[in-house]
Structure 1
Amino acid sequence: MLNKLSFKIGMLFFIFILLVEVLLFVVLYYNSANNQVDEVMSNLLSRGNTHRDVLEDYYNTSTINHVGIMESESDFVVVITDTEGNTIVHSNSIESEMQNVIQKAINNPIDHDGRVVSNDWRHDDYIASQSVIFTENEIKGHVFMFAETEQIRNLLG
């Protein structure tokens, strides 16, 4: 009788430990996934702000075209627009989802620090950031950076 009781207590303890380990693994996975996504979004905004900074110092056709060329070889897509949302330069083709994000974001106020304007990586094809180009005391345009969400989904398995 004692062996059966100790076996049951041992199995109960084993199951409890197994459940705690599974719970901790799930929490660790989701924290790691959220950190990866936050890092991608932060990097996207940082790249957009860097391009914005250069364009604020040298706002001319040559520099605008150079930014587009630089991003054409990266995993990101840059779209530089005027204040109305009309495309001046883009590094890769502009998908309809990107155009929708741009038109929606243009109508919302933005501060100089920029912002992530599309972050639903589970459902959208792209995440996006927006940075405003401000020179000579006026807004000259916007820098939009896009990253494919498929890369994030593949990274997280």
Structure 2
Amino acid sequence: MEKLDAIDVQILDLLQRRGRIKRTEIAEAVGLSIPSVSDRMRKLEARGVTTGFRATVDAKRLGWDVTAFVFVQSVGSDHYPEFIETVTALDEVQELHSVTGDGSHVLKVRVKNTTGLEQLLARLQGVPGVRGTRTSLVLSTHKETTYLPSEPMTLPPTH
């Protein structure tokens, strides 16, 4: 069984909070050598615990002024693979989740303006198997993060 120990947890915390942190700073913070930190980081990636490093951009500064959550109702599961493939290919869709309750999927979308939202909704409603959508516009965002607290643990097997 693969374990995530206290040092791995510290490294994950530092990487999540400060993605551009230098390995020398990580090594100093966790009390290991740079090669040991590099080895642990490589193993975290190989085990699928870390899945990449990317820049976080300010959507509004880039002109993506409208954020919305779109709840999709489908007519059944016959078109499920086609729906997933079509929706994941849309750059405006930042998140796609299969859900229980009202609808079958919820999407977090970002568009430049309401005209863009209207066009995106028309595309979504044209996907085979989509019965309808319900949209909630985001008025303001007070917290948005991908940070996850972690703790020492035994990792579940990967599929």
Under a length normalisation based on structure 1, what TM-score does the superposition of the two structures give? 0.26
Between structures 1 and 2, the one with greater helix share: 1
Under a length normalisation based on structure 2, what TM-score does the superposition of the two structures give? 0.25
Which of 1 and 2 has greater Rg? Answer: 1
